[in-house]
Structure 1
């Protein structure tokens, strides 16, 4: 009797282990092969290259590396003495051209009021032409003054958006060139996560689907939603030939790997965790809850741990 019970217990334990292994294997298969998830995700943001609009020496720095700034904050100032002098010259030129224009107008009016016996038609036309030229010179002087004023204003370089200054290596006395970026500004309003999903998983991804994001080194699940799906990726098998016709590579691989398509994910609360552009993330599109169930679906934590372990072993073996 004891032998029978012992045999029955071993059979029961074996069945339980086999059933558990089958359940885990089925879950892992669905998790890896069917569920829309990827470990190839990254934190992204729009990067603004900060460049001065005028050339000159840096006179004053008002920010430091990795500092948070608001839109409109002054980042640094280019030495403005040259631009202030240029504005004074432009204003003086405006006054001179204004006086010339006034004299030309008075001369034209005088010639027009004189009788034909005193002033000829040619003199009248010359006076009117001189007035027109003086007016054109005056308008040009006004435009030059506006340009000088704009250059003086642009000697202060301001933040174009809210964000974080990074890669700053600028000091007072450095010479900056107009149009050449001297630092980067990470747009804090554009921070998002982009997951690169295999094309075989795209049919199960819809805009608005709930998403769970887990950053590498951070065990928290950050909720978000699918914001958009990329409209196209680069075709590396095709280039444009010299005749503007398609140049297709004459080789074909029997083992075809699924292409990865970027999917943009907007985090519901971007301040829930410190986000650094370039961080690696695991992105999983959550299953849609059953009708009437308002609870958000989530992944079991044990499945994530096993998946990470299996993925790590696979990466080590490859």
Structure 2
């Protein structure tokens, strides 16, 4: 039979030992285990909050916010055509040269037009002299009161004078036209801009109404952003635009000027039989159409050139409640990252 101690046989001593065991601090390993568990729970909570914030941000930037990487720089080009025909005898510009509205571009041989002005001027003088003679004759006939001059003869002389007057007006109109044609031998720029793709040279023949020189209108640059139709509900005229051109760090600022009301559709084309050519639609793959949005450029950094056809990434501000500064900054950094991402990614 095992031996027992006095403390083990004493119930009072046993209860005091149990109370002492419960009030004593737990061992160090147990405290560390509890601390680690609390830390893991707190870390999990922080990660969940961060994941929620990141998911909300990604949803805001990629789904809800109207933005596109499919933007393009656009510009108007003045295709200048002569209003008279003739051989080009002088060229006053070079390719890619800056010009102002009214600057002389080239000159058409003016000799034939100078001759036309001289001939028309001589015709005017001839008609003026003829009108003077007719008016004098009519005045003398009207003054005659003899029986030999009838009323019909007086009317006839008056009509002759009116015909001479009409002939003079016609000659004067021809003279004005001849002078205008002479002025048109000097072809001038109709816009402020830069000559582009210049192929003409002295000796070429210029034909009336046929464009032979193009000038990029540098006052007409704008941005076309092609936005998915799923984002059109958040796009309005007057929204601000943040624009970044591929290859350049500084951003441009703009404003939504207008939204296109129609795009072409392949289903509208007629088949060889004249029937509608309707393409098959795969219901499990529905790609959103892209709608052009015209953006007026409000501010452009001096070190960022504008070239028609350049690729732009556009983010629009919808006028909703402002986001926190840290959120806006993070969004701008993601925008810059997206704009400078894989350039070969299909859009």
TM-score norm. by structure 1 comes to: 0.84
Shift of 1:34: 2.0
Runs (5+) with no aligned partner, structure 2: 1-28
SS of corresponding position for 1:268: strand
**Residue of structure 1 aligned with 2:307, choices 261, 264, 276:** 276
Alpha-carbon offset, residue 145 of structure 1: 0.1
Q: What is the 5 A alignment of 1:215-234? A: 215-234=245-264
Aligned-residue offset at 1:309: 7.6
Q: Secondary structure at the match of 1:137?
A: helix
Inter-partner Cα distance in structure 1 for 2:167 and 2:287 = 68
Q: Aligned to 2:219, what secondary structure does the other structure show?
A: helix
Q: Match for 2:60 among 30, 37, 40? A: 30
**Residues 191 and 270 in structure 1, CA contact (< 8 A), matched pair in contact too:** no
| Deviation sequence 1:262-302 (CA, Å, 0-9, x none) | 111112224532100111111111354746999xx566354
**Is contact 2:250-2:301 (8 Å) kept?**
no
Instruction: Decide whether aligned partners of structure 1 residues 306 and 158 sit closer, same or farther in structure 2, where only a CA change above 3 A counts.
Output: closer
Task: Report the Cα offset of residue 15 of structure 1.
Answer: 7.9
Shift of the alpha carbon at 1:208? 1.6
Asked if 1:238 is matched to 2:238, the reply is: no
Matching residue within 317, 321, 333 for 1:286 = 317
The structure 1 residue matched to 2:125, chosen from 87, 95, 118, is 95
Provide the C-alpha distance between the structure 2 equivalents of 1:283 and 1:164, rounded to a whole number of angstroms.
26
Equivalent pairs, count: 311
Equivalence for 1:131: 161
Contact 1:28 1:307 in 2 (8 A): no
Question: Do the aligned partners of 1:286 and 1:299 also contact (CA within 8 Å) in 2?
Answer: no
Q: Does 1:185 align with 2:185?
A: no
Partner of 1:195: 225
Whether 1:300 aligns to 2:331 is yes
Q: Paired residue for 1:176?
A: 206
Aligned-partner Cα distance in 2 for 1:151–1:280:
43
CA contact (8 A) 2:94 2:198 kept: yes
Superposed CA RMSD in Å reads 3.3
Q: 1:16 deviation in Å?
A: 7.0
Structure 1 position 307, deviation (Å): 3.5
Match of 2:139 among 99, 109, 130: 109
Q: Is the 8 A contact 1:28 1:303 kept in 2?
A: no
Residue of structure 2 in register with 1:160 after alignment = 190
Asked whether the equivalents of residues 241 and 317 of structure 2 are also in contact (C-alpha less than 8 Å), the reply is yes
1:145 counterpart residue number: 175
Residue ranges of structure 1 left out of the alignment (5+ in a row): none
Could you say which residue in structure 1 is the equivalent of 2:150?
120
The 8 Å contact of residues 61 and 172 in structure 1, kept in 2 or not, is answered as yes
* 2:14 alignment counterpart: none
Change (3 A) 1:15 1:94: same
1:59 matched to 2:92: no
Structure 2 distance, partners of 1:15, 1:305, is: 30
User: 1:212 touches 1:222 (CA, 8 Å); kept in 2?
Assistant: yes
- 2:112 aligned with 1:85: no
Instruction: Give the structure with higher Rg (CA).
Output: 2
CA shift digits 1:160-201 (9 cap, x unpaired):
111111111121111111111111111111111110111111
